[in-house]
Chain A
Amino acid sequence: MEESRLTPAPASSQGPNFPGPFAVGTYARKLQGWMRERARVQLIGEVTGVGRSKVQAYFELRDSEGAVPCAIWLNDLEKAGLDGGSLRDGAEVVISGGLDYYPGGGQASPNFCFRATHVRLAGEGDLIARLEALRKQMRAEGLFELQKQLHRPVLPKAIGVVTAERGAARRDLLAGLERRGWRGSLIWGFAPVQDRHAAPAIGRALQDLAARPEVEAIVVTRGGGSLADLWAFCDETLCRTVAMLRVPVVSAVGHERDSTLIDDVAAVACSTPTHAAEAAVPLDCLAARESLERCALSLRRAGEGAVETRSRHLGALARGPARALQRERGKLNQKIREIRAAAERGLTERVASQRRIGTLVLERARRRAAGADMEKRREALKRAAVALRAHEPERTLERGYALVEGDGGEPLTSAAETGAAERISLRFSDGRVSARPERRDDA
Chain B
Amino acid sequence: MDESQPDQSGATTPDSYEAAVERLEEIIDRLDSGQAGLRETLDLCKEGKELVTYCAGELDEVGEGLKELRLDDLATKLDTASEVG
Residues on A lying within 8 angstroms of B by beta carbon are: 153-157, 160, 174, 177-178, 181-190, 205, 208-209, 212, 281, 283, 285, 288-289, 292, 295-296, 298-300, 302-303, 306-307, 310
Closest chain B CB from A316 CB (angstroms):
16
- The B58-73 residues at the A interface (CB cut-off 8 A) are 58-59, 61-72
Besides the known contacts A190-B70, A292-B55, A302-B45, 5 further A-B residue pairs in the complex with CB atoms under 8 A apart: A157-B62, A183-B65, A186-B68, A205-B71, A296-B49
Docked pose: A292 CA to B59 CA in angstroms: 10
What chain A residues lie within 8 Å of B75 (beta carbons)?
A: 208
A181:B55 contact, CB within 8 angstroms:
no
Q: Is B52 interfacial (CB 8 A cutoff)?
A: yes
Partner of A186, one of B18, B61, B69: B69
Closest 8 A-B residue pairs measured CB to CB?
A: A184-B62, A303-B45, A302-B31, A306-B41, A189-B71, A299-B48, A183-B66, A155-B17
Interface string of B1-34 (1 = CB under 8 A from A): 0000000000000001110000010011001100
Residues on B lying within 8 angstroms of A by beta carbon are: 16-18, 24, 27-28, 31-32, 36, 38, 41-42, 44-45, 48-49, 52, 55-56, 58-59, 61-72, 74-75
A184:B61 contact, CB within 8 angstroms:
yes
B17:A177 contact, CB within 8 angstroms:
no
B71:A187 contact, CB within 8 angstroms:
yes
A208:B71 contact, CB within 8 angstroms:
yes
B28:A298 contact, CB within 8 angstroms:
yes
What chain A residues lie within 8 Å of B42 (beta carbons)?
A: 303, 306-307
Docked pose: A187 CA to B78 CA in angstroms: 15
What chain A residues lie within 8 Å of B16 (beta carbons)?
A: 153-154
Closest chain B CB from A303 CB (angstroms):
4
A302:B41 contact, CB within 8 angstroms:
yes
* B16 to chain A: closest residue by CB: A153
What chain A residues lie within 8 Å of B31 (beta carbons)?
A: 298-299, 302
B52:A296 contact, CB within 8 angstroms:
yes
B52:A299 contact, CB within 8 angstroms:
yes
A183:B64 contact, CB within 8 angstroms:
yes
A188:B66 contact, CB within 8 angstroms:
no
Query: Mind listing 11 A-B residue pairs with CB under 8 Å?
Result: A174-B66, A181-B63, A182-B63, A187-B69, A188-B69, A295-B24, A295-B48, A298-B32, A299-B31, A299-B52, A306-B42
Docked pose: A288 CA to B56 CA in angstroms: 9
Docked pose: A187 CA to B73 CA in angstroms: 10
Partner of A155, one of B24, B48, B58: B58
* B41 to chain A: closest residue by CB: A306
* A283 to chain B: closest residue by CB: B17
Partner of B68, one of A188, A289, A306: A188
* B66 to chain A: closest residue by CB: A183
What chain B residues lie within 8 Å of A289 (beta carbons)?
A: 56, 59, 63
B17:A154 contact, CB within 8 angstroms:
yes
A212:B62 contact, CB within 8 angstroms:
no
A303:B59 contact, CB within 8 angstroms:
no
B61:A154 contact, CB within 8 angstroms:
no
* A310 to chain B: closest residue by CB: B38
* A183 to chain B: closest residue by CB: B66
B66:A295 contact, CB within 8 angstroms:
no
Docked pose: A156 CA to B16 CA in angstroms: 10
What chain B residues lie within 8 Å of A185 (beta carbons)?
A: 66-69
* B61 to chain A: closest residue by CB: A157
Which of A160, A177, A184, A299: most chain B Cβ within 10 A?
Answer: A299
Docked pose: A186 CA to B56 CA in angstroms: 21
What chain A residues lie within 8 Å of B17 (beta carbons)?
A: 153-155, 283
Docked pose: A209 CA to B72 CA in angstroms: 10
What chain B residues lie within 8 Å of A285 (beta carbons)?
A: 59, 62-63
A177:B45 contact, CB within 8 angstroms:
no
What chain A residues lie within 8 Å of B58 (beta carbons)?
A: 155
Docked pose: A160 CA to B68 CA in angstroms: 10
Docked pose: A307 CA to B72 CA in angstroms: 58
Partner of B28, one of A160, A186, A299: A299
Docked pose: A184 CA to B66 CA in angstroms: 5
What chain A residues lie within 8 Å of B66 (beta carbons)?
A: 174, 177-178, 183-186
Partner of B71, one of A155, A178, A184, A209: A209
Closest chain B CB from A385 CB (angstroms):
105
What chain B residues lie within 8 Å of A186 (beta carbons)?
A: 66-69
What chain A residues lie within 8 Å of B38 (beta carbons)?
A: 306-307, 310
Docked pose: A295 CA to B24 CA in angstroms: 8
* B42 to chain A: closest residue by CB: A303
Closest chain B CB from A281 CB (angstroms):
8
Docked pose: A157 CA to B59 CA in angstroms: 9
Closest chain A CB from B40 CB (angstroms):
9
Docked pose: A186 CA to B69 CA in angstroms: 6
